[in-house]
Amino acid sequence: MAPEKTGQRDAEYAEFVSAQLPALRRTAYLLCGDAHRADDLIQEAITKLYVRWHRLGEVERLDRYLRTMLVREFLNERRLAWARVLLFGQPVYEPVARADDTEQRLAVRAALARVPQRQRAVLVLRFMCDLPVDEVAQLLGCSAGTVKSQTSHGLESLRRHLGNRVDLVPALAD
């Protein structure tokens, strides 16, 4: 490939990824509950995207493609032994929340962290990323019925972990 085409390709990649970073950070953090791990997930996804960038000209929705890569990276990472090693007892970084709902968000995130990973991925994609069932199914490589079932089980688990604070489940969509 000619140097000028490579430079243009790199510039397009950088522009695309820069525009996607806020949404990626939010999704990754909600999936794993740790800002450092979220950054690692994003790095893995955007690195893999870069390797494939020259072949993605025909992909209709690159944002969905990248989000799929991120979620799959999260699901695959949890299978690796090193992912179970925690360097910190408490999160070092917590995204800034509005003062009026910090307690609710923390309670929901803590409960969400206790939901099984596949159910957590479905809940994050459905309620926090506001994706329809069919898109979540496509993203996770499963049927719409599986997404509905995982949503139901995930909400049940979330309610169980919230205990008497079950009124916070609507905060999931915030």
Question: What's the topology of domain 99-174?
Answer: Arc Repressor Mutant, subunit A (1.10.10)
What distance in Å separates the CA atoms of residue 101 and residue 59, rounded to the nearest whole number? Answer: 38
Q: Which residues contact 121 (CB under 8 A, 6 or more apart)?
A: 31, 71, 74, 75, 140
Kind and range of the H or E element at 143? none
pTM to 2 decimal places = 0.64
CATH code for the structural domain at 1-85: 1.10.1740.10
Instruction: Give the pLDDT confidence score for residue 174 in this predicted structure.
Output: 45
What one-character DSSP code corresponds to residue 13? H
Per-residue pLDDT tens over the stretch 48-103 = 999 999 888 777 888 999 999 999 999 887 666 555 555 555 544 444 445 456 77
What distance in Å separates the CA atoms of residue 75 and residue 56, rounded to the nearest whole number? Answer: 23
Instruction: Give the pLDDT confidence score for residue 81 in this predicted structure.
Output: 53
Burial class, 36, CB count within 10 angstroms (exposed 0-12 / middle 13-18 / buried 19+)? middle
- How many angstroms from the chain centroid is the CA of residue 138? 15
Instruction: Give the pLDDT confidence score for residue 15 in this predicted structure.
Output: 94
Residue range 15-41: average pLDDT?
92
In this predicted structure, the answer to whether residue 25 has a pLDDT above a threshold of 90 is yes
What distance in Å separates the CA atoms of residue 97 and residue 122, rounded to the nearest whole number? Answer: 23
Per-residue pLDDT tens over the stretch 117-168 = 899 999 989 988 888 999 999 988 999 999 999 999 998 998 888 887 766 6
- Pull the structure tokens for residue 91: 């999160």
Find tokens 């070092």 and name the residue: 92
Predicted confidence band of residue 33 (pLDDT cuts 50, 70, 90): confident
Size (the chain), residues: 174
User: Which of 31, 2, 9, 29 shows the shortest CA–CA distance to 126?
Assistant: 31
Instruction: Give the pLDDT confidence score for residue 166 in this predicted structure.
Output: 63
In this predicted structure, the answer to whether residue 6 has a pLDDT above a threshold of 90 is no
How many other β-carbons are positioned within 10 Å of the β-carbon of residue 90?
5
Find tokens 């090193």 and name the residue: 82
Q: Where are the domains of the chain?
A: 1-85, 99-174
